[in-house]
Amino acid sequence: MKSLIEGLPPEVAQRIHPDWRKNEAAYWAERDKLLVQYRDQWIGFANGLMIAAGTSPVEVFHRAQESGLHPFVTCVGHEHEPCRMRRTSFSYDATNPGEPLPVMTAEFCK
């Protein structure tokens, strides 16, 4: 399977930790087995093991990153569908049902 790194600009690809590359390759070697139990779920995969799983990509990403193992994080069965996560800080509306949503100011003009 083609590595996701191959789609990155070279200056970005060179910054990817070698362990992440190993974890991505190991994920693809185990993918058929993971499809049975984790299809449509987000997982963090490192050192040949699933280390985090769930329906929220943000929660899974944070739990997997806490391991320090440079995990490969993906949605099983949807690996090549675009999904972008960016790290930023802003306030959240914790009263929103489900996950808290960011608070922003908008001005509508006629």
Contact 54, 42 (CB under 8 A): yes
In sequence order, what DSSP letters do the residues of 63-75 get, joined into one string? HHHTT-S--EEEE
Q: Which residues pair with 8 in a beta bridge?
A: none
Task: Examine residue 53 and state whether it is found in any structural domain, yes or no.
Answer: yes
Whether 89 is in a domain gets the answer no
Alpha-carbon gap, residue 90 to 103, rounded angstroms: 7
Residue 86: the pLDDT is: 64
Residue 87 domain-assigned (yes or no) = no
**Residue for token digits 């040949």?**
48
Count of structural domains, the chain: 1
Does residue 37 sit in helix, strand or coil?
helix
Instruction: Report yes or no on 23 lying in a domain.
Output: yes
Instruction: Quote the CA–CA distance of 77 and 79 in Å, as a whole number.
Output: 6
Domain assignment of residue 31, given as a range:
4-79
Does residue 19 belong to any structural domain of this protein?
A: yes
pLDDT in tens, 62-85: 999 999 999 999 999 999 887 765
Q: Which pLDDT score, from 0 to 100, does residue 16 have?
A: 93
pTM of the model: 0.72
Quick check: is 86 in a domain? no
Over 70: is that where the pLDDT of 35 sits? yes
> Would residue 105 count as lying in a domain?
no
